[in-house]
Structure 1
Amino acid sequence: MHILVTGVAGFIGFHVAQALLARGETVIGVDNLNDYYDPALKHARLAQLTGQKGFSFQPVELADRDAVDALLVPASGVTHIIHLAAQAGVRYSLQNPHAYISANIVAQINLLEAVRRLPGLVHFVYASSSSVYGHAEKAPFAVTDRTDRPLSLYAATKKADELFHYTYAHLYRIPATGLRFFTVYGPWGRPDMAAFLFTKAILAGEPIRLFNGGDMRRDFTYIDDIVAGVLATLDHPPADTGEAPPHRVYNLGHNHPEKLTDFVAILEEALGRKAVLDLQPMQPGDVYETAADITESRRDLGFSPTTPLSVGLPKFIAWYREFYRV
């Protein structure tokens, strides 16, 4: 396989590229290395990939149509795409909405338009989000549940991506699968996520903000389990029967929501320090609980997450202490 991985210097993209290279695939990594969070972390991830057999890197801005067209030409040999590049973050979408339109809408259309002219594409896997469920009427969330009531612009753009892919699968028979990720954490994680923010604050003796007074539940999913799900998805493109569009959507989550206060307690034990809590009201765009129904991904992909929070969080902390020398 010749696999294009977008967002390759990002958290999930980096780990997915590592796994693909480990099994002998050719990976063309793409990233714009923007400054949404410290670019030094992105460069450090990229340095881990650079020089590995089968890996090459292209610094491409996916919102630039001409750059995408130049990237995805027949001579590139790309047979599979794993599109993980996006502007992430629910709360940041309230501050900088245009960044989400550029990275999550314009970039997606640019890729789809380039891909429909690319011969030999086997599968287009792309990242969606559990945020599309909004104020779900029940938990766990099933892929058949209603997803037309997003609570943030970020969620709205991710739902739009699913609709774009369905349409292009219908019109141009592009085999595509969307993955709704549920609160991914682990080594090399994003600095704007809870594990990173809380660990940094606890070590510094600074307060950590818990929204809704700490009464929230999240389906925290360890990165190795997510990577296994992404690779299994890549290897199982939807069949084109000539009737329904060759497009599917799956949940990738741990299937075991945890209380945010329990999450903090595990961090405290692993770090050997107590957290200073700053209890805040619920924030606009947030949801009380996320919970993945993985019936379809377990059945079709063999997806079976195995890493509990009590194992995954200490692994994150070990990486954090080594990387930041604290």
Structure 2
Amino acid sequence: MRAVAFDIFGGELDVRELPDPAPAPHGAVIRVEATGLCRSDWHGWQGHDPDIKALPHVPGHEFAGVVEAVGSDVPELGGWRAGARVTVPFICACGTCASCAAGDQQVCERQTQPGFTHWGSFAEYVAIDHADVNLIAIPEDMAYATAAGLGCRFATAFRAVAQVGEVRPGEWVAVHGCGGVGLSAVMIATAAGARVVAVDISTDALHLAELAGATHFVNASAGDAAAQVRELTRGGAHVSIDALGSPATCAASIESLRRRGRHVQVGLLPGGATPVPMDRVIGHELRLLGSHGMAAHAYPPMLELIRAGVLHPDQLVTRTIGLGDAGKALASIGSVPGVTMITPRTPH
């Protein structure tokens, strides 16, 4: 298969021929039709993720495609056979640990992650574990580029807004960082009836946030973003989401909150200590919450909202590239606003 790989962290990303994956007895191989470019892939390439233990490595964890083959132990009752159109959560659960038994597959104790624990989806084929737990059927009329975003950023934002942040109609929601996850959060919070403040340093990103439903905007390059949010919301947001992942956006998100507000950390933070304004957390009784993807069994309500036309993840895709451009795009992630999709099987 053709795939994008690197031999050293932070080194050259090139397209090369690599062996096709084979399904584990409990797993499946997916023919990748679309895969998203995500900041998490950049962190992996830079060596920030301890799960990448062997090189060369193939990044990519957000994808959709067609089942090419399944392992011998995949139950027939699941209906997972070659030809099924699927996406997969970026956290592939084992299905049997205590967390999985409680329905919390997104924090599975024995999870695997394509693009991190093993080769990922910047390739024509990708293998996943425990197909019966992790495969998600996608509607026949849904484009692969739309479905690919559901494996990570859109589903991650959906759970962060609706389930972890518990956003309610009429609340103020601040979204710090309007990349793929942030724009998804803006759209989902707007659909939930919230008033959304978009925060970014890019005017292009803020324009896309407006198209996604935000009504108030803060250019963080102009000064104290948290103070601007508190002024716009007359006291602070009820819910604030760090969708980027940096010490600055994490602190600004927390400081954007009103008393008893909820901070949701979605963006991955680089290694090392991250200063947190804990005096404010204590004095204002703030809640600090982490959100890590979404389990496969939790996808139906989100898929139904997409089918009903309430949510439009396809509108967040701003460009589509081939494998040959994927390395350059990953190295310069953040330079193009919106969501970038890679189509491994289509030359560009």
TM-score (norm 2): 0.33
TM, length-normalised to structure 1 = 0.35
Q: Please identify which structure carries the higher helix content.
A: 1
Q: Whose strand proportion is higher, 1 or 2?
A: 2
